[in-house]
Each structure stands twice: as structure tokens, then as C-alpha cells.
Amino acid sequence: MENIQQQLIDLLESRRKEGLFRQLSVLDGRTDFCSNDYLGLAGDPVLAASIARDFEALPAEARKNGATGSRLISGHSSLIEQFEKECAAFHGSETALLFSSGYDANIGLISSLPQEGDVIFCDKLLHASLIDGLRLSKAERRIFKHNNLDDLVHLLDQYPAESRKWIVVESVYSMDGDVAPLAELVALKNKYQAELIVDEAHSGGVYGTEGQGLVYELGLCEDVFARVITFGKAWGNAGAVVLGSLALKEYLVNFARPFIYSTAPTPAHVSALLSTLHYLPSQNEARQKLQENIAFFRANCHSDAWGDSQTAIQTFFVTGNEAVRAKAASASEFAIKPIVFPTVAKGKERIRITLSANHTSEQILSLIQALE
């Protein structure tokens, strides 16, 4: 039998030859155009001071170094309850359930909620966390063309009215930066008696009167069965909540395996999330600056290689894995990432660029000029 270490080395070498080898890197002071820190909160000194102050103000017994266990054993706390209650109210939801990451939230929700005999209709460009949840689900899975309502209707028409149907989308898509037609999807889910699940990873913090997300901004909270809000992007932190009814929350506590079998977030983490929740409504200036940067960026893009996104996620298309890597490397003063096949479809390789409220006009122009 082949030595396991050699087998691992051979598999890695095969990936290198295919141009698919992944490795970690540090930004090293380069101008950041690849993170999802849309409002600049990850390094905000005012927020950092608030996080430190709020944690120190907690009772001594609440300031443990660790959570000590999963939430169903010893890791649950009044601090988590407070955060979930306030987070739900902020987002216009009956309840919120905290997960350690957006990946865990999506896996737990999608793998456990739709039942055997149900049908899940999912957009072709869903995030990997949703796709992995779908793979674990016992429900039937049907994929419709990206943001194509006609194709979705075509699939919906193939199932009888009594079939339980779920439609799963993202409000803002992570690779192309385009927006789901949420109002039209609500109309369809009502017509076909389906339920709608929306991943708001890239709209939470950015849209809404105080950063509550795109579903909230459009007044569709009551029409969406479940929303996932993540904290690793505009919130500048980590973790996620599933927003929905009390029945949904209690169901996930009982059946969502990533929740049941994960150690709870630490008190320091939960306290930081609560501080950020209190800080987020005051960030209208940052949200406005982000929108101004998006408009400025779009106004100064002249190459046909640019995508047509109107959000903070922008794309510069370069066909071929090696070509897109070389193009990204040529702009070495910027932290930008080539996205290659098979992460995206062959021929759709691109440099994914994310804009932040912290970017200056000079930085944006320099990046555009370096790529064009």
C-alpha cells in the first residue's frame, strides 16, 4: 500500500500541475482590494475601543476566556441571549440564532430544514456553503439559471401544488456582485406556495436604513422564511445568525448539526458582536462613502473586460487560469485575487475586486489603470 504521506504529496503535485494549488499569503501592506471589509469596521479604532470597553464592563463571571462547551451543554449564556434578541429586533425578525460562521449557518440551515420529498430550487451561482448544505439535504435539488426567473418558473411548473418547495438565493452574489430580483422572487414564491431562503452575507451592514440588509431595505422581511446574516464582511468580525420564526429557531437548535456539535462562540466574541450591533446604525456616512466609491469606480472603468456589477463586488475578466493569475500578479502593489476554474466556470475566470468605504479616489484610479 502506498505511503499516505507520499499519496498526499502526489495529490498536491497533481493540483500544482493543473494550476489549482492553493496557498496562504499575507497582504504585507499592499492596498487591500480583496477583503470583504466593506465599511472598514475591521480596523475601525472607535469600534475597537468600544469593543474593549464593553467587554471590560461585563460582570467578572461573564468574562471567561472560553465558552466551555457547546450551547446545549455549558456554552449558552445570557450574553448570547441578549445578542440574539437585539440582533433579531434590529433585522425585523422574530428570532435570531447565532452560529460560529456563515458556513456553519448555511450548512446547518439547508441540510436540516427541507425534508425528504421536498424540492429545493437553487440559483446556479450559490455560494459553496449553500451547495454543501444542499448536498447533505434529503430533499430533491433543482438548479435554475442564474437570476433567470423564466427558468425557475419552468422548473416550478414541473411539480404539483402539494409539493413543498423551497427557493434558495443570495441577495448579493459573492462572485459577480449582482443582485437577486427579490421582489419578483417573492411574487413567485407566493404564486407557487413556496418558501424563500435568502443568504444576505454580502448585503448585511451595507443596505437598509441602518445596515439591516437588502431584504429589510425592500420591506420583504415578512415574505422570507429565513435569512442568513454573516458578520465576517461589513460587520468586520466573524460568525452569523439565521433569522426567522421561533419555530425555526427551536427546530435548528434540535436538528442543525453544526450548531449542536460546535463549541459556542467565546464571551469576548459575542460581546464584540454586540458592540458592533450597537455601532452599525451610526455608520451611514461609511455606507454612503461606499456607494460613492462604487459609482466612482464604475464611472472610470473603460475596458470591456469589466463586469457590470453595481455593488461593492467588481470583476475584471481574463480568460484562462494562467492568464488571470499573470494579470493579477502584474498589479503587485494591490492585494487582489485571481478567481480560477473550477471555482468559476471555464472561460469566466476573473480578478475579483471588492471596494470599501476606506478606499480613496486615487487608490481606485490606480487599480483601474494597472488592470486596463
Residue 1: pLDDT band with limits 50, 70, 90? low
pLDDT digits (tens, 9 = 90+) for 103-132: 999 999 999 999 999 999 999 999 999 999
Q: Dihedrals φ, ψ of 99, to 5°?
A: -120, 160
Query: Do 122 and 274 form a contact (C-beta atoms < 8 A)?
Result: no
The answer to whether residue 222 scores a pLDDT higher than 90 is yes
* Burial of residue 35, with CB atoms counted within 10 A of its CB: 0-12 exposed, 13-18 middle, 19 or more buried: middle
Q: Domains in the chain: how many in total?
A: 2
3-state DSSP of 74-101: HHCCHHHHHHHHHHHHHCCCCEEEEECC
pLDDT of residue 28: 82
Grid coordinates belonging to 143: 438548479
Last residue of a domain, one of 281, 313, 341: 281
Task: For the beta carbon of residue 22, count every other beta carbon within 10 angstroms.
Answer: 8
Are 236 and 342 in the same domain? no
pLDDT digits (tens, 9 = 90+) for 44-82: 999 999 999 999 999 999 999 999 999 999 999 999 999
pLDDT of residue 25: 86
Are 314 and 254 in the same domain? no
Query: Do 74 and 326 form a contact (C-beta atoms < 8 A)?
Result: no
pLDDT of residue 94: 98
Last residue of a domain, one of 251, 266, 281: 281
Higher pLDDT, 26 or 85: 85
The answer to whether residue 26 scores a pLDDT higher than 90 is no
Grid coordinates belonging to 129: 456553503
pTM recorded for the entire structure? 0.95
Domain housing 321: 23-39+283-371
Last residue of a domain, one of 240, 257, 281: 281
Are 71 and 161 in the same domain? yes
Are 325 and 265 in the same domain? no
Mean pLDDT of the chain: 96
In a domain, 11, yes or no: no
CA distance 334 to 348: 22
pLDDT of residue 202: 98
Are 64 and 147 in the same domain? yes
pLDDT of residue 18: 85
Are 116 and 219 in the same domain? yes
Query: Do 228 and 23 form a contact (C-beta atoms < 8 A)?
Result: no
CATH code at 104?
A: 3.40.640.10
CA distance 165 to 298: 38
CATH code at 352?
A: 3.90.1150.10
Are 275 and 345 in the same domain? no
Are 118 and 201 in the same domain? yes
pLDDT of residue 7: 94
Are 210 and 83 in the same domain? yes
The answer to whether residue 265 scores a pLDDT higher than 80 is yes
Query: Do 265 and 80 form a contact (C-beta atoms < 8 A)?
Result: yes
pLDDT of residue 171: 98
Which residues are the active-site residues? 36, 127, 170, 174, 199, 202, 233
Grid coordinates belonging to 38: 466593506
Are 310 and 266 in the same domain? no
CA 176, 39, 201, 132 torsion-angle sign: positive
Mean pLDDT throughout 178-191?
A: 98
